[in-house]
Amino acid sequence: MSSKPILYEMDITPGSRAVKMVARVIGLNLDIVAIDLFAGEHLTEAFIKMNPQHTVPTLNDNGNIIWESSVICTYLIDKYAKNDELYPKDLYERAKCNQRLHFSDGILYQRLRNCSMCIYAGGTEVPDKDIKNIQDAYELMETFLATDSYLVGDRLTVADLCAIGLIGSTHELYAPVTANKYPKLLNWFDRMKSLPFYDEMEAPFVIKYKNVVESIRAKNSNK
């Protein structure tokens, strides 16, 4: 088995990209195995044996199997990072970081998924209530960023890296982040887009995901 952790991922999923960005920041090399969800590669007997929830990303760290992107990210930082900058050891700062991670998992991801499932299930339009749910999440993020440059204080943390792909996707597909409604969130968004690896590791795959969804929407409209 490889001495490097193996990441099973699909590049259009924000969680997969979050793990890869964390690895980049902490200087960790991963072996990448692409999994095509649309082809059902996550439903093979071998993959389900490894991860009974058959989700990506999934990490195999020399036999230790972990899934859920935020859990993978914090595990990799705790095990491999040279310092705690991305995931503070201070209990209060870590608690705030965990809260933001739970927000991304339980609010941002679920609301993005709800919108996309409308299209995956054969529809062509997303209900207004689902768009409103995303906008409500933006309002909450405005409060998180009321006095801080990042989601936890004034430095980049894992919370930002786990949120950026979700915000990028909702912005492109369903609910634009506008200066008049969400000025602090937009400033954060622009700050994240200025990261040296954003154009390589994030931006192209947000557009790739948008193209996938729009292609499905177009097929649905022709039925």
The secondary structure of the chain, three-state, reads: CCCCCEEEECCCCHHHHHHHHHHHHHCCCCEEEECCCCCCHHHCHHHHHHCCCCCCCEEEECCEEEECHHHHHHHHHHHHCCCCCCCCCCHHHHHHHHHHHHHHHHHHHHHHHHHHHHHHCCCCCCCHHHHHHHHHHHHHHHHHCCCCCCCCCCCCCHHHHHHHHHHHHHHHHCCCCCCCCCHHHHHHHHHHHCCCCHHHHCHHHHHHHHHHHHHHHHHHHCC
Which of 2, 3, 16, 221 is flagged as catalytic?
16
Listed residue (111, 161, 97) closest to 139, CA to CA: 111
Residue 16 catalytic?
yes
Chain centroid to Cα 119, Å, comes to 20
Catalytic residues: 16
